[in-house]
Amino acid sequence: MSTISRDELSRIGLQLLAAHGLADVSMRRVANEFQVTVSALYWHVKDKQSLLGAMVDRLFADLDVDAPTGNWRADIAARAKQLYATMLSTRDAAELTASVLALGTGGQRVREIIAEVSPNDVTTDAIMALLIGHATLNQQRMQAEAIGVEVSPATTSTFRQVLDLLV
């Protein structure tokens, strides 16, 4: 019986991500975790990029958002904060999400969660840009916070603050 599958691969990938960071999520390490050769992975997954895409899909799969209240500003703000929190929940998850969204290999649900309560596409795009941009610029501080060290960040405002400016 083969316990190895696309879904299991992304599970192990997220595990490696949380434990060692994005740089250490390599095809060889994932294969190792399965006690299998690297080349074996390519039977289950097209390439590394699609594995990363599956990881992002899984990362946001469990997130359940509240139903729309009718006040779109409040709904958008609430959901954006949830998405941001998810990107902070796991080490390097923000960087991973940004890369996957940029290449379009996964994470479509992220946009849908915002689009569902957004009045128009421009607003959706602005929120998405703010999410990815702020997370990216806060990478240093986020990593520092995850460990417990102090660091001078490129961005000084919290996500809430910049979000309040827009919605």
Nearest to residue 102, comparing CAs of 79, 70, 136? 136
Nearer to a second copy, 74 or 133 (CB): 133
Cβ at position 32, least distance to DNA in Å? 9
Contact segment (CB under 7 A) with DNA among 19-27, 63-71, 73-81, 93-101 equals 19-27
Residue 39 sits in the site that holds DNA (CB under 7 A)? yes
Question: In angstroms, rounded to a whole number, what is the distance separating the alpha carbons of residues 23 and 100?
Answer: 15
Work out what residue 89 binds among a second copy, DNA, none; the CB cut-off runs from 5 to 8 Å by kind. Answer: none
Question: In angstroms, rounded to a whole number, what is the distance separating the alpha carbons of residues 135 and 92?
Answer: 10
Contact segment (CB under 7 A) with DNA among 37-45, 73-81, 113-121, 139-147 equals 37-45
Question: In angstroms, rounded to a whole number, what is the distance separating the alpha carbons of residues 73 and 63?
Answer: 20
Residue 102 sits in the site that holds DNA (CB under 7 A)? no
Nearest to residue 166, comparing CAs of 68, 73, 71? 73
Residue 61 sits in the site that holds DNA (CB under 7 A)? no
Nearer to a second copy, 10 or 97 (CB): 97
Residue 15 sits in the site that holds DNA (CB under 7 A)? no
Residue 47 sits in the site that holds DNA (CB under 7 A)? yes
Instruction: Give the DSSP per-residue string, 110-156.
Output: HHHHHHTT-SSHHHHHHHHHHHHHHHHHTHHHHHHHHHT-----S--
Nearer to DNA, 22 or 101 (CB): 22
Amino acid (1-letter code) at residue 59? L
User: What count of other Cβ atoms lies within 10 Å of the Cβ of residue 37?
Assistant: 11
Contact segment (CB under 7 A) with DNA among 7-15, 21-29, 77-85, 123-131 equals 21-29
Work out what residue 47 binds among a second copy, DNA, none; the CB cut-off runs from 5 to 8 Å by kind. Answer: DNA
